[in-house]
Chain A
């Protein structure tokens, strides 16, 4: 058994063009580490590199139908048979104001 991960177009350069990859792990963090061992660089596009290791703000990650931000982020528990979906957030706006942009990014 494995966990299926659906990869958006913009990240398929890391998966040899594959739309779906499989991995294993009891948490989202462990799953991404497992996948990164076969598709190097993918984890870095999802998780910030600094020690905190937080999910990037403009990537949406779902466990089945739920946004992982409401499931504990990288600590979200996952089990075999779960389906993970990665989607780039669709966002923007008219302002170029840096402080305001920071507020948007802070969501």
Chain B
């Protein structure tokens, strides 16, 4: 299960809406081993695309260094799908590289409602999990 504070949840939704129709992406860092997503970090989508995302490599290094210094890890890795449902694509599954992260997908295909769902992706296996907003 993903437990996430409302303010963080809403920051993900707001980022997804702001970058629509391009995919938005980012992380929520938290203390290593805590499973608590606390520090929201919006990342640039280096692909600037409605169908792909990729963290800018230099920005990623900076953000990962800060996490290292603070003894944090990426508890949540999020991105948006802007025309399809909030379910990991084959591309998402094959590129998932953080077995400890919650992969959060936000779909902005419906202008009125943002669908947000969370998954574990380990060795190509996708497991959906409940999202509890606290």
Contacts and interface: CB of A to CB of B under 8 A. Distances in A.
B81 A65 contact: no
Interface string A91-102: 111111100110
Contacts, number: 99
Contacts of B127: none
B125 to A, nearest CB: 15
B77 A94 contact: no
A91 B94 CA distance: 10
B98 A88 contact: yes
A91 B61 contact: no
Contact of B97 (A90, A94, A95): A90
Size band of the interface chain A makes with B: 20 to 34
Interface core residue of A87, A88, A97 (most chain B CB under 10 Å): A87
Contacts of B90: 96, 101
Query: What is the interface of chain A mostly: helix, strand, loop, or mixed?
Result: mixed
A59 to B, nearest CB: 9
Interface core residue of A58, A93, A95, A100 (most chain B CB under 10 Å): A93
Interface in A54-97: 58, 60, 62, 65, 67, 69, 85, 87-97
A1 interface: no
Contact of A93 (B73, B77, B89, B96): B89
